[in-house]
Amino acid sequence: MKPLAEKIWFNGELKAWEDAKIHVLTHGLHYGTSVFEGVRAYDTPKGPAVFRLAEHTQRLFDSARIYHMPIPFTPEQINEACKETLRVNGLKSAYLRPIAFLGECGLGVTPKPENVKVDVAIAAFPWGAYLGEDGLTKGVDVIVSSWQRLAPNTVPPAAKAGGNYLSSYLIGREARSRGYEEGLGLGTDGRLSEGAGENLFLIMKGKIHTPPVSSSILGGITRDTVLTLARDAGIEVIEQALPREMLYLADEVFMTGTAAEITPIRSIDDIPTRVGGPGEVTKLMQQRFHGLFNGETEDTYGWLDYVN
């Protein structure tokens, strides 16, 4: 892979991009035993800032907790390392990828606790709109995948773990191979869950509906941001299990994620949403969200963590 930045933080050291390597017998590679984050930094009028860094780092440690994975750094050290990685690479806006994984622990699926070795890396590099610039403005066409999301009490959906992304890979690949931009997964109960790498929102009669955390979703930080911004804009938000057919009846539908930001959906399974693209509520949410980074929305929440 061509270097996208100069340095990668690896176990406390800044290494050249090409030298940040691991062994082929790394446990995480064989068994998906990694936990990670996707974080964005934005170039704001007050200087580069990481968006909700503390919450992302908390989720990284929570994911690691579920998997009995002791991260050999404190959350404060990880926060500082994220900012240091941005600074050494001279990045003002970037996507950050902190990851912790079981390293060389032998090839037994469950290494003895004394053999557990957790490696931690942080990469940062420029990354534009995940589903394309056009996607943000015009909306994307999606399908409901034939693959369902992770069933409760199997592989925990609330942990952002490497292995979970086998599900995302199948859902995303099915959609793209059929010419759609993204795939949505249903839960094993047939109700709406989430996109391959995004949370899902439906707007009906001016109210925002989204599946609850019990619907096999990752509790997205962008999801929480949108729920907060919507409530503050006086829009009612309802976290409730939703049947599939609501997708075809909603006025507007959008997806959220750190990479995808707020991406409108214009059709689902070839059925256009009632407004057929980004509607009023979606546009308002996009405006409030991006306003946090261009200074139009006041950050009364303390979500911007300035890099310098």
Instruction: Supply the residues annotated as catalytic.
Output: 160
105 or 222, CB closer to ligand PMP? 222
User: For 47-77, b where at least 16 C-beta lie within 10 A, e where not — what string?
Assistant: ebbbbbbebbbbbbbebbeebebebebeeee
Report, in Å, the least distance between residue 204 CB and ligand PMP.
21
Query: Which parts of 183-222 interact with ligand PMP (CB under 6 A)?
Result: 194, 197-199, 218, 220-222
Give min distance, CB of 214 to ligand PMP, in A: 14
Query: Distance between terminal CA atoms of the chain?
Result: 29
Q: Which is nearer to ligand PMP, 55 or 189 (CB)?
A: 55
Residue 263 sits in the site that holds ligand PMP (CB under 6 A): no
Q: Indicate which single residue of 223, 254, 268, 281 sits in contact with ligand PMP (rule: CB under 6 A).
A: 223
- Nearest Cα neighbor of 254 from 267, 269, 241, 236 is 267
Q: How far is the CB of 260 from ligand PMP (least distance, A)?
A: 8
Three-state secondary structure string covering 211-246: CCCCCCCCCCHHHHHHHHHHHHCCCCEEECCCECCH
Does residue 278 interact with ligand PMP by CB under 6 A? no
Any idea what DSSP says for residue 270?
T
In the DSSP assignment, the letter for residue 76 is H
What torsion do the CA atoms of 86, 87, 89, 92 make, to the nearest 10 degrees? 60
| Interaction mask 164-183, ligand PMP, x per CB under 6 A | ----x---------------
- Shortest CB 221 distance to ligand PMP, Å: 4
- Our finding on whether 26 is near ligand PMP (CB under 6 A) is no
Q: Is 97 in the site for ligand PMP (CB under 6 A)?
A: no
Residue 289 has a CB neighbour count (10 Å cut-off) of 18
Neighbours of 191 (CB within 10 A): 18
Q: Which residues bind ligand PMP (CB under 6 A)?
A: 38, 168, 194, 197-199, 218, 220-223, 256-258
